[in-house]
């Protein structure tokens, strides 16, 4: 039945976590402000990942000064493909994926063409802080381009899909894949029009789906079903997510992975205020799962044993 | 105690603190403060007399406090007379000062009362119900008011035409006295019968005639003697003025026959004495001379002296009042913003952009401000699009947009001037930087997300700005906040409550509309 809105009581019954409650009961008490830079600044996240042997895309160079912008081609060592990312960007903004170039012309995965001037302008904009969270001057990370795993070939348009895992007190409580669409212009951000599908925490298999806040079963562009895809290396992905959550010491965190054709799950970034659309993608509310984790004795939340909780969680 | 557990206590504490501060200030303001427009006056009584015995007594009626006037100081010059304890005079509500000579002889005294007249109303204890003995007194005859006289009864009969309300009857009697009894010099008829018979009377005669007519119609009425506290012609002498109070529906209404004021008298009328008798009444004495005078004086400083003065924002110069009021209104804008963002869930460009926009509009007529903002946004956005081709770095690009915004605003003002519109001088106070950022963010949002989302944000920003504008435009609230800035304790309490709201945002009721049904 098509509905325009739901009553708060229905949302409560469904265990849906609202943004105010997320902020007041998850983000504020569990995520100390001082640790935010560990996730807001991508190169810091990467350093942490290195330290804990969590796979991340190789960093080619970090540009911090406008003076270095013209030299960026030298700095990346004439690599064919690369990704430019704002060091403190959010929502996939400011990310430029170059699939091939000849030093003067740069082509994205979607086939868009940029001139060298366009790319240096983009780098300048990144450094000026146009895409950074607080508008502060930023740095630009130039890193390895990940090749999307073929499993998503039919349900991702013009971009790289990613997998998000939300962890509560370092226990994975919900996961989804985010699939770029034409509307999202290749970005895997639900808010910008990407599609999402819930991922079963035990099997790593997709189900359900959401696009533009509405439940969907198919990719809006390719019309392929987004359910029933099995994510390769799912257990490794969950282990990496838990390790990173422990490393950043944030109690409520979203970790984004890209599934590389060769390397398997690779961490793209972490987020201290992950969005709530994951609930729509999973067609489940987060609250019962958070309550379940809260109800566990500390002994069951240890790094080695918490994996056992996942099977119980997934049924909630 | 957890933060959540402490919230009700903190909110309660703020509410109590706010209420207490308001009460203390209100009490202080009523009792001591002088408000803009208040005037100060010194009323002086002078008298000389020869006391025949030591039992002579001087009764001087004390000016009564009204809603708009009060005595804040009185003094008696040294005259050798002894003051008896002050007591309520026999006449209702008046008090009097009683002096006595230590021995017979010639005396002269002078006393003065410093009065404050205010346009604001002080609370005055209402007069209780009329006791039966007073009622009888205010219905019966007294000197100069011959209620039982035939001519009084005849006039009442004439004027009481058909069924009419008490108030209508009083009005007819009053109109008769005003129109048909000619005001003559002081030596004309001083009593009711004389006034009604000859149709000519002194002011006192006129007032007595009205009292007699009221009383004969079974409406309690009394004479009031007092002063008109206002500037006098140089060289003229202040005379007590007489008016009448009539009890209608348990309220004493004031009527001044001489000046034809009905139901109430101006606030510069200060009653001193009610009922028969004079303002200064001296017994057992001869050669009595009394004289009164009034002169303007400076009021004592409005605020408490010393550092406490800074707590009183009203003491600031007038030209600062409106800006201060606006500043004090800004937190209400924050309250509205917090409500809309946290409880409704509306997203805007920048958290306080709507408040700052609204603040700028308050200085302008919105009819002129709105087209200027619209023009700046449209032209700013189109030039921003052109500028995109130049591939400039962020800060210089913002600088160019700022320059364009300023130029656009300046020429918008010029265009309005050309079309005979008088743009407010403060149009330039429109927040250029805010508009610049708005242009930039709108453009970026159209590029990064899409035009629809950018327009959505812009509309939400505009709606919120209008709501905040409506709050800021509320002059009365601003004025109240200037007097009682501590009312912001309530604002903070409200913000705390919003800050602890963990329920669903209204927009989430739309956003998650597919969810509960999707559970299977």
DSSP state of B162: S
CA-based max dimension of chain B: 111
Cα–Cα distance for residue pair A213/B511, rounded to 1 Å: 6
Phi, psi of A220 (to 5 degrees): -60, -25
| Contact state of B391 with A210 under an 8 Å Cβ cutoff | no
Shortest CA gap A211–chain B (Å): 11
Distance CA(A180)–CA(A182), nearest Å, equals 7
pLDDT greater than 90 at residue A173 = yes
Structure tokens at A144: 């390895």
- Provide the pLDDT for residue B520: 37
- Mean pLDDT per segment of 10 residues, for chain B of length 520 residues? 72 91 79 71 91 89 87 82 69 72 90 86 77 87 90 87 81 90 82 89 91 92 91 82 90 90 89 84 89 84 65 76 83 90 88 83 70 79 80 78 82 78 60 78 78 87 88 81 90 92 89 63
Q: Nearest CA of chain A to the CA of B6: how many Å?
A: 15
Both tokens assigned to B40: 């100060």
B350 phi/psi in degrees, rounded to 5:
70, 145
Residues 6+ apart with CB under 8 A from B443: B381, B384, B385, B388
d(CA B489, CA B183): 59
Asked if the C-beta of A161 comes within 8 angstroms of chain B's C-beta atoms, the answer is no
Chain A residue with minimum CA distance to B454: A192
**pLDDT digit string, tens, across residues B200-251:** 998 889 999 999 999 999 999 999 999 998 888 777 788 899 999 999 888 8
Proportion of chain A above pLDDT 90, given as a percent: 29
Which of chain A's residues have a Cβ under 8 Å away from the Cβ of B391?
A: 117-118, 121
Asked whether the beta carbons of A216 and A179 are under 8 A apart, the reply is no
Do A128 and B502 count as a contact with CB atoms less than 8 A apart? no
Other Cβ atoms within 10 Å of A104 Cβ, number: 9
Chain B neighbors of A10, CB-CB under 8 A: 516
Determine contact: A296 vs chain B, CB below 8 A. Answer: no
- Of B81, B71, B76, the residue nearest B111 (C-alpha): B76
- Kindly list the residues from chain A whose CB atom is less than 8 angstroms away from the CB atom of residue B394: 124-125, 128-130
Size of interface A-B (CB pairs under 8 A): 97
Whole-prediction pTM: 0.65
Q: Does the CB of B444 have a partner CB in chain A at under 8 Å? A: yes
Average pLDDT over residues A230-244: 91
B203-216 and B166-180 are packed helices; what angle lies between their axes, rounded to 10 degrees? 150
Q: Mutation test of the interface with chain A: which of B388, B451, B511, B519, choosing the one with the most A Cβ atoms within 10 A?
A: B511
- B341 with B347: CB under 8 angstroms? yes
User: What whole-number distance in Å separates Cα of residue B60 and Cα of residue B348?
Assistant: 70
Say whether pLDDT at A24 is over 50: yes
CA distance A126 to chain B (A): 9
Which A-chain residues 168-227 have CB contacts (< 8 A) with chain B? 183, 191-193, 208, 210, 213-215
Tokens of B83: 């003051």
pLDDT given at position B255? 94
Q: Inform me whether the C-beta atom of residue A118 falls under 8 Å from chain B C-beta atoms.
A: yes
Chain A stretch 83-102, residues whose beta carbon is closer than 8 A to a beta carbon of chain B: 93
The answer to whether B373 touches B430, Cβ cutoff 8 Å, is yes
Nearest to B519 among A24, A213, A284 (CB): A284
How far apart (Å, rounded) are the C-alpha atoms in residues B295 and B286?
29
Mean pLDDT of all residues belonging to chain A: 87
Measured between alpha carbons, how far is B445 from B439 in angstroms, rounded to an integer? Answer: 10
Residues of chain B with Cβ-Cβ distance to A24 below 8 Å are: 500, 502
Residue B88 pairs in a beta bridge with B95
Q: State whether residue A25 sits within 8 Å of chain B by CB.
A: yes
H-helix segments, A94-153: 116-128
Condensed to tens digits (0 to 9), the pLDDT of residues B117-169 reads 887 777 777 777 888 888 888 999 988 899 999 988 888 888 887 767 888 88
Q: Any CB–CB contact under 8 A between A2 and chain B?
A: no
Instruction: Look at residue B91 in the predicted model and tell me its pLDDT.
Output: 47
> Is B379 within 8 Å of B408 (Cβ atoms)?
yes
A7 in contact with B, Cβ within 8 Å:
yes
**Which of A13, A121, A283 lies closest to B518 in CB terms?**
A283
pLDDT digits (tens, 9 = 90+) for A41-91: 888 999 999 999 999 999 999 999 888 888 888 887 778 889 999 988 877
- Whole-Å CA distances, A7 to A4, B348, B362, B516: 10, 24, 38, 10
| Residue numbers in A near B351 (CB within 8 A) | none
Q: Which residue of A has its CA nearest to B508?
A: A18
């Amino acid at each position: 039945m098509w509905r325009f809105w739901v009553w708060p009581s229905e949302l409560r019954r469904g265990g849906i976590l609202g943004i105010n409650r997320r902020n007041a009961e998850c983000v504020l008490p569990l995520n100390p402000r001082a640790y935010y830079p560990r996730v807001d600044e991508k190169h810091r996240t990467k350093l942490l990942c290195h330290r804990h042997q969590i796979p991340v895309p190789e960093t080619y160079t970090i540009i911090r000064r406008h003076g270095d912008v013209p030299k960026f081609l030298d700095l990346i060592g004439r690599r064919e493909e690369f990704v430019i990312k704002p060091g403190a960007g959010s929502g996939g903004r400011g990310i430029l994926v170059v699939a091939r170039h000849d030093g003067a012309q740069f082509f994205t995965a979607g086939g868009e063409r940029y001139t060298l001037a366009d790319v240096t302008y983009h780098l300048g904009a990144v450094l000026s802080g146009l895409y950074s969270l607080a508008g502060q001057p930023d740095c630009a990370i130039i890193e390895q381009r990940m090749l999307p795993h073929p499993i998503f070939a039919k349900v991702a348009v013009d971009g790289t899909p990613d997998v998000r895992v939300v962890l509560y007190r370092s226990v994975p409580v919900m996961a989804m894949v985010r699939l770029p669409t034409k509307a999202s212009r290749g970005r895997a951000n639900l808010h910008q029009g990407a599609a999402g599908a819930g991922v079963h925490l035990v099997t790593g298999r997709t189900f359900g789906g959401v696009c533009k806040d509405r439940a969907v079963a198919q990719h809006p562009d390719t019309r392929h079903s987004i359910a029933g895809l099995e994510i390769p290396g799912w257990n490794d992905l969950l282990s990496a997510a838990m390790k990173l959550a422990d490393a950043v010491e944030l109690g409520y965190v979203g970790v984004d992975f890209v599934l590389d054709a060769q390397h398997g799950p690779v961490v793209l970034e972490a987020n201290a205020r992950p969005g709530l659309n994951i609930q729509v993608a999973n067609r489940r509310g987060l609250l019962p799962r958070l309550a379940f984790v809260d109800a566990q004795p500390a002994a069951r939340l240890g790094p080695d044993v918490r994996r056992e909780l996942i099977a119980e969680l997934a049924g909630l | 105690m957890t933060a959540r557990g402490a919230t009700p206590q903190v909110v309660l504490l703020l509410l109590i603190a706010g209420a207490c501060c308001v009460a203390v200030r209100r009490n202080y303001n009523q009792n001591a403060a002088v408000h803009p427009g208040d005037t100060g006056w010194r009323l002086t009584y002078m008298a000389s007399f020869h006391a025949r015995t030591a039992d002579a007594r001087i009764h001087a009626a004390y000016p009564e406090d009204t809603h708009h006037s009060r005595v804040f100081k009185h003094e008696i010059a040294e005259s050798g007379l002894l003051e008896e304890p002050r007591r309520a005079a026999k006449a209702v509500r008046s008090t009097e000062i009683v002096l006595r000579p230590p021995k017979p002889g010639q005396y002269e005294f002078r006393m003065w009362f410093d009065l404050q007249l205010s346009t604001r109303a002080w609370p005055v204890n209402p007069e209780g119900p009329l006791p039966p003995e007073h009622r009888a007194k205010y219905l019966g005859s007294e000197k100069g008011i011959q209620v039982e006289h035939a001519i009084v009864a005849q006039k009442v009969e004439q004027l009481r035409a058909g069924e009419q309300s008490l108030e209508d009857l009083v009005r007819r009697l009053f109109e008769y006295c005003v129109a048909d009894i000619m005001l003559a010099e002081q030596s004309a008829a001083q009593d009711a019968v004389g006034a009604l018979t000859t149709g000519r009377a002194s002011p006192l005669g006129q007032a007595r005639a009205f009292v007699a007519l009221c009383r004969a119609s079974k409406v309690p009425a009394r004479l009031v003697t007092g002063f008109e506290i206002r500037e006098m012609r140089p060289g003229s002498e202040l005379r007590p003025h007489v008016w009448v109070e009539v009890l209608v529906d348990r309220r004493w209404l004031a009527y001044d026959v001489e000046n034809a004021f009905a139901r109430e008298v101006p606030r510069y009328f200060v009653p001193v004495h009610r009922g028969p008798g004079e303002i200064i009444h001296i017994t057992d004495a001869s050669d009595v001379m009394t004289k009164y005078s009034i002169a303007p004086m400076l009021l004592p400083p409005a605020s408490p002296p010393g550092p406490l003065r800074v707590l009183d924002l009203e003491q600031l110069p007038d030209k600062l009042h409106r800006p201060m009021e606006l500043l004090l209104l800004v937190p209400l804008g924050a309250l509205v913003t917090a409500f809309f963002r946290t409880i409704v869930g509306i997203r805007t460009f920048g958290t306080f952009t709507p408040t700052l926009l609204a603040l700028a509009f308050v200085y302008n007529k919105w009819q002129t401000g709105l087209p200027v903002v619209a023009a700046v946004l449209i032209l700013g956005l189109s030039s921003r699009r052109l500028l995109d081709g130049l591939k400039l770095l962020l800060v210089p690009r913002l600088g160019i947009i700022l320059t364009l915004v300023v130029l656009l605003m300046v020429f918008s003002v010029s265009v309005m001037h050309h079309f005979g519109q008088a743009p407010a001088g403060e149009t330039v106070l429109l927040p250029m930087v805010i508009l610049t950022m708005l242009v930039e963010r709108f453009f970026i949002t159209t590029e990064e997300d899409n035009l629809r989302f950018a327009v959505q944000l812009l509309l939400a920003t505009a709606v919120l700005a209008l709501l905040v504008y409506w709050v800021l435009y509320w002059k009365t609230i601003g004025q109240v906040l200037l007097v009682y800035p501590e009312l912001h304790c309530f604002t903070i309490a409200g913000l705390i409550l919003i800050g602890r709201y963990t329920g669903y945002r209204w927009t989430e009721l739309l956003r998650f509309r597919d969810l509960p049904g999707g559970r299977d």
